[in-house]
Every structure is written in structure tokens, then in C-alpha cells.
């Protein structure tokens, strides 16, 4: 089963083969993403070991959403020993988020 994930906005997009799911993840992405993916796998009669490849939309987009999504797909690809692709179809060893601009990080107050 091919998995595609886009966490670049508050609306997470997950594709499992030909099935597309949209989830208004908002601020619950980090807490609920693994469960969401697993629930959709189960709905399709599959489990983690049925994933044959992973594609990730690496940006531009939300700084935090891209970091969370990249961490999840990098970990899954490594643990499941499956190929990992960026959204341009390039096979990669590791997804690096493409934010589209420098991070807007506030300087420390102290």
C-alpha cells in the first residue's frame, strides 16, 4: 500500500493507494497523527507492515506541521524499510522540510 502524507497546513491530507482522506488536524497533529494513519490503514484492511512506499509533501507550508510530518514519515520509512519520496517523485534517504522562507523565530526575552 502506498502512503502519501501532506501536513503543510491545518488540513492534513493522507492518501492510501487510491483513497484520499482529509483531516482538520489543527493543533492536534503531533498528538493524533500516528493514530489517524493507523485508523485509516485498518479501515482499508491493512496495517503498518502493508505500507510499501511513502511520499511526503515537503513544503512549503507550516513550519511545525512540516517538522511533525517529516519526523513521522522519516521514522516510518526507516522502521518499515520502505522507499521514501518527496513530492517531486525523487527517492530520498531523508525528508528535509522546505519551508519556503526562513523560520520566523522570536528572539528570547532574556
Q: Which residues face 53 on adjacent strands?
A: 2
What is residue 103's predicted lDDT score, i.e. its pLDDT? 65
Model confidence, pTM: 0.88
One-character DSSP codes across the chain: -EEEEE-SSSEEEEEETTEEEEEE-GGGHHHHHHHHHHHHHHHTT--GGG--EEEE---SS-HHHHHHHHHHHHHHHHHHT--EEETTS-EESS-----SS----PPP--
The CATH fold assigned to 2-92 is Nucleotidyltransferase; domain 5 (3.30.420)
The pairing of beta strand 84-86 with beta strand 91-92: antiparallel
Task: Give pLDDT tens digits for 63-104.
Answer: 899 999 999 999 999 999 999 999 999 999 999 988 877 766
Q: Domain boundaries in the chain?
A: 2-92
How far is residue 101's CA from residue 103's CA, in Å, rounded to a whole number? 6
- Rounded percentage of the chain residues whose pLDDT exceeds 70: 98
Amino acid at each position: 500500500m502506498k502512503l502519501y502524507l501532506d501536513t503543510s497546513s491545518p488540513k492534513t491530507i493522507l492518501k492510501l493507494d487510491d483513497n484520499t482522506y482529509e483531516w482538520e488536524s489543527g493543533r492536534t497533529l503531533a498528538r493524533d497523527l500516528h493514530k489517524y494513519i493507523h485508523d485509516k490503514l485498518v479501515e482499508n484492511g491493512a496495517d503498518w507492515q502493508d505500507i510499501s512506499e511513502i511520499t511526503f509533501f515537503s513544503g512549503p507550508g507550516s513550519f511545525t506541521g512540516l517538522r511533525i510530518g517529516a519526523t513521522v514519515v522519516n521514522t516510518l520509512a526507516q522502521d518499515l524499510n520502505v522507499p521514501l519520496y518527496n513530492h517531486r517523485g525523487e527517492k530520498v534517504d531523508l525528508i528535509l522540510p522546505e519551508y519556503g522562507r526562513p523560520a520566523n523565530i522570536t528572539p528570547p526575552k532574556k
